[in-house]
Structure 1
């Protein structure tokens, strides 16, 4: 019996499950107490605590799924707002151009009307001296011929002036129609934008509740440490999968980052909250850096490459990964929304995402990491000082 209890005790220590008072008391008791009833009690306590751990883990997993759904919803709304704002700017520029064109056309129309008036007046005056009257007057034939040519040219000029005036009037009507349409679209877009922003605010409030509940569930240091380790394992797994997909689908040559060390632009400009290598939790350290910046700020690619991952990943929120070739990759996490999808090629300094707090973060920032052949590298060494 003693051997059975000792064996069970060792198993419990290995599993870090000795947390209940009853369990610890049973292991500390004299051998004479360790009868079959107490052993059954120990087993029941083990089962109870294991069930409790399983239930807690299920709650954490469920909350993470809820968080993913909420944050991807926020990302979709934020992307709609971003596109609406871009269209709004396009419309503003287009309306400004149309108004300038209208002013030019109105001036042109005014000049054409004046010219047409002068031509009609000239033709009227000429009409007072008809060709028949000139012939009967017995004037010189050369003069009559010149008068006839002049009359024909005057008539042609009047016809051209009328055609130009008609064309200007038609173009003016078209521009006015375009202006009315774009102004109507702008009004509709502004209303839609306000609605999206209202929805975004409501979604953020729901997300904050989920984040608070989630943090309560993982408040234990050991549990939080386990969550962080799991997040790292998920990232490594996704890197391997994305790398395999990139190798299979590569269509553009990429030369890697080696020749650009210390010359690359920052993905965002802001205060560095966490540095590479600083303590994260227990024996874990940051494998990238966290740069604080306001929500919605543009995240820029540090170098040309191909997007190999663009999705929500537990612990990293909305994450985008760019393959730069030769085993070099850059990671951009915690985003509010992603502006690129898997398979897109990007240029250096091109906007790829908007800064956010996805992944359950408490402040808006960008998680930025560089990996070379799967190994993390200090990002500061690659960025412009």
Structure 2
């Protein structure tokens, strides 16, 4: 018969077992907690790393956008200077043409006056000899007539000499002016060549910047953040314009569906359409030719005319009663803040600023800061 352990021994054994179990359980809990803390710490570190990476990408993207702005403003400035130089060249060439015509006329006039003087001298000489040979037979009346004729010849000769001298002086002055204009044209051409080279270089740099930006916007979070910041900037500028506005015009309400297009072209992006799958267009994008005139859709006052990140060179027109129209992506701005404009007046030249891949126009209509569908306002 098996001998059972005493209750005291049984109690001690049970206590040891419970103690051992408690120690093992405690060790497991400590191990699990340590692993959890380690895993949590790893998650926090990964979140911190990704946040740091995102911030770094945003900073890099912002730096690229600043470079793009500087390059696009430089391109706009150079193109404006090139247009001005072309205009000066056209004026200078026109002056050269006028001077060359004048010189031809003066040279022809000089030849005629020289020929006339030659004839007068010959006539005077022949008449003088004939008068001397027949003076013994002439009476007083004939002598008086010849004297008057000689006086007339002398006056004609003197006048012709004076005219000839004036013509020579005028011709010399015109030739000097022609030389100055040709020198000026040569300098303008040199300046034009230099500006075109700078323009080409800057355009090349812009393309490089755009490639880097395109590579960076593959990160949706960075690009979405940029789109949101661009919209915030635009709203801030509109709010400032509204605070400054003192327009007493009638707005656009009566012109809905009858507004002229700012330029004619195919609509590339419609109002409300997805923008890179991240946001929605607040206006429309119209295909344009580089340098094509952009026109005001209605009379108003320019309340913003400057570069705005994401929208390039922008014109904002206040039409009164809370209505505003916005024209973006321009290459050149032709109006400044405070200018009054009329319907159909050219306010800018279309381009690709704001980092666009092709020339186009971004067009918005707002009523009390809220966007409207432009296609509902423009004439069909």
Q: TM-score, normalised by structure 1?
A: 0.76
- Please report the RMSD computed on the Cα atoms of aligned residues, expressed in angstroms: 3.5
* Partner in structure 1 of residue 11 of structure 2: none
Partner of 1:23: none
The answer to whether the Cα contact below 8 Å between 2:292 and 2:350 also exists between their aligned partners in 1 is yes
After TM superposition, the structure 1 = structure 2 runs for residues 249-260 of structure 1, keeping only pairs within 5 Å, are none
Are the counterparts in 2 of residues 64 and 314 from structure 1 also a CA contact under 8 Å?
Answer: yes
1:174 Cα offset (Å): 2.0
Task: Give the superposition deviation at 1:35.
Answer: 4.9
1:274 shift after superposition: 2.4
Distance 1:192 1:148 in 2: 66
1:225 aligned residue: 224
CA distance in 2, matches of 1:324, 1:360: 28
C-alpha distance in 2 between matches for 1:278 and 1:186: 51
The 1:92/1:370 distance shift into structure 2, 3 A limit, reads: farther
Structure 1 stretch 104-113 or stretch 280-289: which is displaced more? 280-289
Give the aligned length. Answer: 349
1:187 aligned to 2:186?
yes
> Which residue is equivalent to 1:111?
112
| 3-state DSSP of counterpart to 2:93 | helix
Deviates more, 1:92-101 or 1:266-275: 266-275
> What secondary structure is seen at the aligned counterpart in 1 of 2:289?
coil
What's the counterpart of residue 47 of structure 2?
46
The match for 2:303 among 285, 291, 308 is 308
Q: How does 1:112-191 map to 2 (within 5 A)?
A: 112-128=113-129, 139-141=139-141, 143-191=142-190
> Measured at CA, do residues 86 and 297 of structure 1 come closer, stay the same or move farther in structure 2, by a change above 3 Å?
farther
Partners in 2 of 1:131 and 1:348 — Cα distance?
85
Q: Tell me what 1:196 maps to.
A: 195
Q: Is structure 2 residue 361 aligned with structure 1 residue 366?
A: yes
Aligned residues of 1:328 and 1:372 also touching (Cα < 8 A): yes
Task: Give 1:198 deviation, angstroms.
Answer: 2.1
Q: Contact 1:79 / 1:339 at 8 angstroms: preserved in 2? A: no
Q: State the alpha-carbon separation in 2 of the partners of residues 148 and 258 from structure 1.
A: 92
Rounded to whole Å, the distance in 2 between the matches of 1:243 and 1:145 is 94
User: Equivalent residue for 2:326?
Assistant: 331
Q: Could you give the per-residue CA deviations for residues 184-227 of structure 1, whole angstroms, max 9, x where no partner exists?
A: 22233223322222222221222122112222222233442332
Q: 8 Å contact 2:58–2:222 — kept in the other structure?
A: no
Single out whichever of 100-109 and 59-68 deviates more from structure 2. Answer: 100-109
Q: TM-score, length-normalised on structure 2?
A: 0.76
Distance 1:77 1:340 in 2: 17
Compared CA separation, residues 347 and 102, structure 1 to 2 (3 A): farther
CA distance in 2, matches of 1:127, 1:303: 83
- Choose 182-191 or 68-77, whichever is displaced more: 182-191
- 161-170 or 222-231, which moves further after superposition? 222-231
Q: 1:109–1:169: 8 Å Cα contact kept in structure 2?
A: yes
CA distance in 2, matches of 1:147, 1:238: 92
Q: Structure 1 residues 301 and 121, CA, compared in 2 at 3 Å: closer, same or farther?
A: farther
Distance 1:164 1:80, change over 3 A: same
User: Per the alignment, in what secondary structure is the counterpart of residue 153 of structure 1?
Assistant: helix
- Segments of 5+ residues of structure 1 without an aligned counterpart are 1-30
1:357 and 2:356 aligned: no
